[in-house]
Structure 1
């Protein structure tokens, strides 16, 4: 798990990565020297976010669960409102916000004696999840999702995507009598190798508020995790790439939302040209 958190893909487009690094560094410098007001979080937003937290989940490493927040929401909401607004104003993210406990889970039908047979599921602090739920509506406000996005989208599912594929196959066979070419990409493991730099670059293109961009940057700086195995917990190690299994994954994931959005728009805009080939 520690090895997986370190970038090492020798076949990666380093030129693109370097360009993204230069741009995000420039963006960070500019944002640090400007002061653009962001409407403070309201207590109502905190209460609504607490209500959206899923129950029945494991407690975090501090022994806090969603049920604790829901039970005491009337008491905790004004406290969290003050704390979260202070975090946004100062852009100072508590270190415990960026930690987690990773549990190795055996993949289906895989050999339990092999390291690569396991996928890490990270339990992040409950308060961090609340913070993310509160900011998520503001982060997605200006994001225009491609029509071909189906994953993690309200009102849509991968079954709909599968149905469209079935219809395309049927039309190709019985109507157009043209060869149909399909490419399937197993993107599940891409969660583990997300480049944080490119992620920030893509978020800038989405036009999110400068303060929110900075908050995401600092959340992805100095991330760490520990491994829990057979009741024992390891020393922490840095997370230099990949998602930390948090609520932002559906929005920030390069394969499901931000990263792939431009690709899907390009496919849609060129579909007429491809239909002629």
Structure 2
């Protein structure tokens, strides 16, 4: 697991992860919550504010290990299309700007009309059907142990 090597360097960390893997669950003792204002919005609008939950370092480490393992599985099996840039190592959604700029310029030179739609799915995380997500992961060949570990992260979630 080349992406996870730094996470495994310490014997203590490796031992802790081994114990967590054995249970395949992780109960989080939630930290404190802070309210942070979104700077670009109207201060009178309640939707201008978002809650941030602080998680313990062990929880973040555990999530990092699970993330590494899922990314390696998906990258190795080409499950995620090459066009997907968001939430991928060494890529981001801005990478698509070059593509769309190139397409627009090419079509403009050929005097062809071009139409584009940009959709921002607000609060997409809040509305995700988790049961469907876990079913899809199972269909993609993710182990039941990994799915159990991921489910445990969403047990008793109080804020999204």
User: Could you state the TM-score of these two structures normalised by the residue count of structure 2?
Assistant: 0.78
Report the count of equivalent residues: 153
For 1:84, the equivalent position in structure 2 comes to 20
Q: Does 1:124 align with 2:55?
A: yes
For 1:31, the equivalent position in structure 2 comes to none
Structure 2, unpaired ranges of 5+? none
For 1:159, the equivalent position in structure 2 comes to 94
Alignment partner of 2:43 out of 112, 118, 130: 112
- Residues 195/103 of structure 1: CA separation in 2 closer, same or farther (3 Å cut): farther
Q: Does 1:214 align with 2:138?
A: no
Structure 1, unpaired ranges of 5+? 1-44, 52-72, 225-238, 243-277
> What secondary structure, in the 3-state scheme, does the structure 2 residue paired with 1:179 have?
coil
> What secondary structure, in the 3-state scheme, does the structure 2 residue paired with 1:147 have?
coil
For 1:93, the equivalent position in structure 2 comes to 26
User: Could you state the TM-score of these two structures normalised by the residue count of structure 1?
Assistant: 0.48
Separation of aligned partners in 2, 1:147 and 1:80: 34
- Residues 219/109 of structure 1: CA separation in 2 closer, same or farther (3 Å cut): closer
1:185-215: per-residue Cα shift (whole Å, max 9, x none)? Answer: 1135323333322221232232211110121
- Residues 223/109 of structure 1: CA separation in 2 closer, same or farther (3 Å cut): closer
Shift of 1:113: 2.8
> What secondary structure, in the 3-state scheme, does the structure 2 residue paired with 1:49 have?
helix
Matches within 5 A, 1:171-190: 171-175=106-110, 177-190=111-124
Alignment RMSD:
2.5
For 1:20, the equivalent position in structure 2 comes to none
